[in-house]
Structure 1
Amino acid sequence: MQSYRDFDPEELAADPLFQRWKLQNDPEASTFWTEWLRQNPDRQTLVATATALLTAIDQHYAESVDKLIPLSDQEIGLEMSRLRQSLKVRQQPFRWIQYAPVRYAAAASVLLLLGFFGWYWLRSTPARPAVTYEELVARQPDPLEEIVNTEGKAMLVTLPDRSTILVYPKSRISYPKQFAGAKREVFLQGKAFFNVTKDPSKPFFVYANNLITRVLGTSFNIQTNELNRQVKVVVRTGRVSVYAADKPAPNRKADSSGSGVVLTPNQQLVFSATDSRLTKSLVAEPVILPQIESQAGFRFHRTPIADVFATLEKAYGVRIEYNAALMQNCYLTASLTNEPFMEKLDLICRTVNADYQQVDGNIVVHAQGCD
């Protein structure tokens, strides 16, 4: 797992998990960082410095957005120079903290170059108005069939194209009696598991509030949460393209996939209408793909690390990136048949003196190499 011990303060401030802890009070992130500080008490100064930096940036950008302060190329160049000078005080951490609000507020205009572009864009982008299930259904030119699950267990619904939807309690779906047009469309409120029949000539669309999921044939979960205005898509098999819609329209072209985020097995995406954020990540507990579940074997005897990672990729459908040349002398002897994916990865990385982090729904391994 990512150690963070060697991070600079600005690198830590740019980390999404750290931002979720400090800016959003995210419970999962808070639990992680509380435990991390317990295990790394000597990094209190690093966390305090990164916090001061992030707080100054957050306040500065909030003021800049409210006042619509423009920044010229000359100002950006000047602030970049000031930022470089401010970084020279790293060897004096307490002085850094003392002057951080002034120095970082002055340098905030160039943080786009330090990995904050996405964060700033979210801060400066107004939230999309929430689109309700009722509004989506009302926009359709023809009457729709509606299924409402008022029972205490999931309900299986078969669509006209033989696709199936497992509709969970307190959820509902609407769809046309026949998929007569160039596309198949379903509207969802609540939670449902989709198993879509393949038909490349007629793509399948699921509309859930402000989020659209497009697929040709796969299985996946979608869940809407009206309380916190979030939509989550979790892929079990196949690939889907997910994108936010400013104005979901019934006349959208059938071959349009929008500027979508592609999800593959064991990946998920959460869309927050509150701040128009799309967050892609691995699911909490990746599972072995159904088509190879009976063939999966994780017994290794002096197996090259490249073959170990290839076995994991094939079994779970999760991409693992690493420096093959640096790790060419790394081998693994272990039996990892019963461990969950993340535990397998932890054990492998500890064995070869490496760590890893999740990046955009993939795994990136950092290693020093093996003798």
Structure 2
Amino acid sequence: MSSNDRFAYLLDLYVAGNASLQEREELFDLLASGRYDTGLGDHISQSLADSQVAGAELPPHISQEIVRNILDAEKNTAAIIPVSRNRFGWRKMAAAILLAAALATGYLLWRPQSAGSEFSAQIKGKTHQQKNESDSLQQIVLEDGSQVTLHPGTTLYFPAHFSDTAREVYMDGSAFFDIAPNAHKPFLVYGRHIITRVLGTSFLISTDPQTGNEEVSVRTGRVQVSENTRVVKEATALLSPVIITPNQKAVYEPGKRALLTTLVSQPQLVRKEVAEEKKQPLPAFQYDQKNLDYIFADLAKAYGIEIITDNPALEKCLFTGDISGNDLYTQLKIICLATHSSYELNGTRILIKGQGCE
């Protein structure tokens, strides 16, 4: 029997309550060694998949979070158990006990339907709950005039009246927010793992039901996204929140506790609203023997996205053509095809690569 098989065998014995004292001690030693952390998640997932819980299907991100809680047992236990000669033994015992609890009840505690009571408990005073049970988008208007468009299956929890210092709501699912400006009362949306903070803007928050990833995409204004420490109970929080602007998005991966920023899949013109308000013409995107540095500056201003080149010689290439009526990425493909260059996303910027022109 391999060492991995031995670990799985002892684990099953312990969870079933059939492990002898010697077998328990052996399992505790293996847990404390740290050599089996990688395979622990797979074993938990398989154990839950084999269980008879109705409708139980463990998403990958839930398994990863249970594992992280188990592996953090040592540092969490050390904070409440006095230092002594037997502390290491207590820590091993705590890790094993936590493992058994995770296997027996962990998934039930993490099931999506628990979000309602969890979110409602965070709201002071009378709580309203609005769930979109239809197959189409559903719009609601909050007391401050902010508009929220709920996607099917999404639930929004909000107070009857906002506090004097902030406007806080809780959401489980995906929704588009168009927030009424109020510089003195920030608007905060609490999700399962992230907090989105704004003063007045429009943005989309979505959740991937398979991976558990939460995504915030900005339409207008600026948005701050941070980890929700009320839900993600970790010893250390992420280093800092991120600020995203129009056509940018932040993606939180709960399994990795990673908060990444990039561009949205379909950037929109940010100058469109300004042009319509001031009755100015929209960008024409029609060029006649124009240098690429001029064209890239025009596109960057129109979409609010930084465009850079890896070769200064590229900026002197000339381009002639009408790229109006196309989305940004199609416009870039046309330009790159004509100038023997290419583009790629680099975080929240677009990088143009090529040899340049003679």
Report SS of the residue matched to 1:288. coil
Match of 2:300 among 307, 313, 317: 313
- Cα deviation for residue 171 of structure 1 reads 1.1
Report SS of the residue matched to 1:313. helix
Residues 107-134 of structure 1 show CA distances to partners (whole Å, capped at 9, x for unaligned) of: xxxxxxxxxxxxxxx99x9379969353
CA contact (8 A) 1:148 1:173 kept: yes
CA contact (8 A) 2:309 2:315 kept: no
Which residue does the alignment assign to 1:144?
127
Residues 152-198 of structure 1 show CA distances to partners (whole Å, capped at 9, x for unaligned) of: 32221111111111112211111112222211111111111100111
Residues 31-56 of structure 1 show CA distances to partners (whole Å, capped at 9, x for unaligned) of: xxxxxxxxxxxxxxxxxxxxxxxxxx
Match of 1:269 among 240, 250, 259: 250
Structure with max Cα Rg: 2
TM-score, length basis structure 1: 0.60
Which residue does the alignment assign to 1:334?
321
Structure 1 pair 194/258, CA: closer, same or farther in 2 (3 Å)? farther
Q: Give the letter aligned to residue 284 of structure 1.
A: S
Q: Give the letter aligned to residue 204 of structure 1.
A: F
Match of 2:262 among 281, 285, 295: 281
Q: List structure 1 segments (4+ residues) > 6 angstroms apart after TM superposition.
A: 127-131
Q: CA RMSD in A?
A: 3.0
Residue identity over aligned pairs, in percent, reads 29
Identify unmatched segments of 5+ residues in structure 1: 1-64, 69-121, 250-256
Partner Cα separation in structure 1 for residue 131 and residue 158 of structure 2: 12
TM-score, length basis structure 2: 0.62
- Cα deviation for residue 226 of structure 1 reads 4.2
Identify unmatched segments of 5+ residues in structure 2: 1-32, 37-63, 73-105, 233-237
- Cα deviation for residue 67 of structure 1 reads 4.2
1:178 is the counterpart of 2:120: no
- 5 Å matches for 1:44-193? 66-67=34-35, 126=68, 132-193=115-176
CA contact (8 A) 2:311 2:353 kept: no
Which residue does the alignment assign to 1:207?
190
Partner Cα separation in structure 2 for residue 307 and residue 133 of structure 1: 52
Structure having greater relative contact order (Cα 8 Å, sep ≥ 6): 1
Report SS of the residue matched to 2:284. coil
Report SS of the residue matched to 1:295. coil
CA contact (8 A) 2:267 2:328 kept: yes
Which residue does the alignment assign to 1:363?
350
**Alignment: residue pair count:** 247
CA contact (8 A) 1:196 1:216 kept: yes
Structure 1 pair 133/322, CA: closer, same or farther in 2 (3 Å)? farther
- Cα deviation for residue 303 of structure 1 reads 1.2
Report SS of the residue matched to 1:132. helix
Report SS of the residue matched to 2:119. helix
Report SS of the residue matched to 1:156. strand
